[in-house]
Structure formats: structure tokens, C-alpha cells
Amino acid sequence: MDREKQIESFQRKIKRVLITQEEIQEAVQKAGQEISDSYDGNPILLVSILKGAYVFLADLSRAITVPSEIGFMCAKSYYSGTVSTGAVKITMDLDQDVSKYHVVIVEDIIDTGRTLNDVVNLLKARNPLSLKVVTLLDKPSRRMVDFEADKALFTIPDHFVIGYGLDCGEYYRNLPYIAEYDEGAE
């Protein structure tokens, strides 16, 4: 396939926009305000799960007005194409001692719930001052374990989505909106 055809095929797989840039920004500002209000000036540690949550974290952290630190973890849920295989592995751990912090986990999407269930259990065992989970997207219809976020900005149907940090095969993370991915498009 020549370069031009490759780019056309890349574009065609962006089936339709599900959540616009403006809708995301509005919801993120509101969530940042609510988080700031609920911690009453106490310092918080925003824990982001790489890579998918990096865009959400960048925007959410700038909408938070209480003193906050940022920490990163890398958790990989293994996918075969767009289907989860169920294995979760922590490939990079936090460098902060969470027992000194009110922790807010910032996630891109909760799908089967396995990734966050594992990460939350791991962090709880380290006795944080408190622990909450905020996710940009929630796909409740796909849940395999009993797990709910404290806050979900958008609930979406069972579509594989891309953009605003979420990828398919590492592409599309830089789209400023959330779109449905068209697996069938050539």
C-alpha cells in the first residue's frame, strides 16, 4: 500500500466522533473543580496509568486547584486486536510512598474492570490516606469484575474507542476527541 492509501485507510477507521473536544473540556473542568472542592485544601497525589490516561491527566491536573503531585504507573492489559485477553501486568511502579497521600487514580477507560481492580488492590495494600478513582470513560456493559469508579465523566456503549489518549495499535492517541473505531474499514 502506498503512503497516500495508508493515510486514507487510517482516516477511514475513525468512524464517527462520539464525544467532541468541547464536551470533553467542559466535563474535565467541572471534574477538576469538584475534586478540588472535595479535598478541602489537602495535598493529593494524582496517579496516572500509562499510557492511555496521559492526555486526561494533563488536562485534569490543570483544572485542579489544590496542591497536587503527579505519579505514574504502567499497567498493561493484554489485547488481541480489540479484545481483552484478561491478563494485567504492572510494568512500572509509582515512586511515591502512598501512605503519605490522598490518592486519586486517573484512568482513561474502565472496560472489563480488571486493570483498575488490580491497581486499586495493590495501592490499598499500601495504606493510602484515602483512595478514589476518576475515569474519563466507563463501558459498564463489558464489566468482568465488580468494580466501579468514584467518578466517571462519560458512560459509553460497547464500542471500541480511540482518541484523547486512547489508542488502537498505538495510533490515534493524539486525536483531540473520542471517536468510534471502525475495525471493518479498509
User: Any idea which residues carry the catalytic annotation?
Assistant: 111
Q: Give the nearer residue to ligand IMP in terms of CB position, either 41 or 184.
A: 184
Single residue of 21, 50, 90, 160 touching ligand IMP by CB under 6 A: 160
Rounded Cα distance between 168 and 156, Å, is: 17
Integer CA distances (angstroms), 106 to 72, 119, 156, 185, in order = 10, 11, 18, 32
Residues 127-186 binding Mg ion (CB under 5 A) are none
Confirm if 176 and 163 have CB atoms less than 8 A apart: yes
Query: Which of the residues 103 through 142 are near ligand IMP (CB under 6 A)?
Result: 107-115
List the grid coordinates of 71. Answer: 505519579
> Whose Cβ is closer to ligand IMP: residue 48's or residue 68's?
48
> Quick one: what does residue 60 bind among ligand IMP, Mg ion, none, with the CB cut-off 5 to 8 Å set by partner type?
none
**Per CB under 5 A, 52 contacts Mg ion:** yes
44-50 and 102-110 strand pairing: parallel
As a whole number of angstroms, the longest Cα–Cα distance in the chain is 56
- Residues 184 and 186: their CA atoms lie apart, in Å, by 6
**Which residue, 38 or 117, is less far from ligand IMP as judged by CB?**
117
Report the residue number, 32 or 163, with the smaller CB distance to ligand IMP: 163
Query: Which residues does residue 72 pair with via DSSP β-bridges, in sequence order?
Result: 48
Binding mask 69-108 for ligand IMP (x = CB under 6 A): --------x------x----------------------xx
Q: In whole angstroms, how close is the CB of 3 to ligand IMP at the nearest point? A: 26
Q: Which ranges constitute the DSSP H helices of the chain? A: 3-12, 21-38, 54-62, 114-124
Q: Return the C-alpha cell found at 87.
A: 491478563
Q: Which residues bind ligand IMP (CB under 6 A)?
A: 52, 77, 84, 107-115, 160-161, 166
Q: Which residues bind Mg ion (CB under 5 A)?
A: 52, 108
